[in-house]
Structure 1
Amino acid sequence: MNFYEQLRDMRKLKGFTIRELADRSGVSAAYISQLENGNRGVPSPDVLMKLSEGLNTPYAELMSIAGYLARTGSEHDDNLSKERPRVNLRRFLRENELMFDGIELTEQDKDWIERMLTVLFWKEKQRRENEPG
């Protein structure tokens, strides 16, 4: 299966129309349509970055499918995923410039996200603090 077919399949698997992917990624719908129909060459790494954000797919995966990165065996990939470091989400929110669906998050946006996550995990934190041990 070539890059164009895989891109189309990824988009459909996520349940997005071409227009939705365009809105989420900032890449024009016409360009995405031409890509999926094989009427354009493999996009640049910059365009792949935007598409990866729009598809909520790892950038390295699209780079690999497009032929920019060498693929590794699936057993090796499984080992890599098990060895990935854990990210402190609170620190990640505070220390990075972030986007969501093409919208740049302000400091206030990031504060609200942090507050929502604090509420979401409050019960679990209380449970762990009250565990004997």
Structure 2
Amino acid sequence: MDFYDKLRDIRKLKGFTIRELADRSGVSAGYISQLENGNRGVPSPDVLMKLSEGLNIAYTELMDIAGYLEAPSSDKVYEPGVPVNLRRFLRENELIFDGMVLSAEDKEWVERMLTVLFWKERQAAAKLEPEEK
């Protein structure tokens, strides 16, 4: 299976149409279509970065699939189905959201928002459970 087939498979696995991936990545739908049909060469690392953000997959994974990396990428540490400590993940990784690299302060705010969100969820669930006597 070549890069083009793998790109199409990843997009479909994520449930995106070509248009949705274009909107999410900033890469034109026509170019994505040409890539998937094998009518274009392997895209540049810059385009792969945009596609990785749009597909929400590791940049190194796409770089590996495209043949830019010779050794297996180290970003494949996290395996599907294995729980990841989100608090640690936020603190220990460089993160990008909508093309913007998150600063330490940004990541702290994300962590605070998640803490509040899940605290509210736990409080609501506790109110629904019958009290133990």
TM-score by length of 2: 0.66
* 2:114 match: 117
Q: Does 1:99 align with 2:97?
A: yes
Deviation at 1:118, TM superposition (A): 1.8
Aligned-pair identity (%) = 72
Letter in 2 for 1:24: R
Distance 1:41 1:98 in 2: 26
Where in structure 1 do 4 or more consecutive aligned residues deviate above 6 Å? 109-112
Deviation at 1:70, TM superposition (A): 1.6
* CA distances 1:102-123 after superposition (whole Å, capped 9, x unpaired): 5788xxx878744431213435
Letter in 2 for 1:62: L
Gaps of 5+ in 2: 80-86, 123-133
Deviation at 1:17, TM superposition (A): 0.2
Aligned residues: 112
Deviation at 1:8, TM superposition (A): 0.3
Equivalent residues in 2 for 1:1-133 (5 A)? Answer: 1-72=1-72, 80-81=77-78, 87=88, 89=90, 98-100=96-98, 113-122=110-119, 123=122
Deviation at 1:43, TM superposition (A): 0.2
- Once superposed, what is the RMSD of the aligned Cα atoms? 3.7
* Greater relative contact order structure (CA < 8 Å, 6+ sep): 1
Letter in 2 for 1:119: V
TM-score by length of 1: 0.66
Alignment CA distance shift 1:103-1:58 (3 Å): closer
SS at structure 2 position matched to 1:40: coil
Gaps of 5+ in 1: 124-133
Deviation at 1:98, TM superposition (A): 4.2
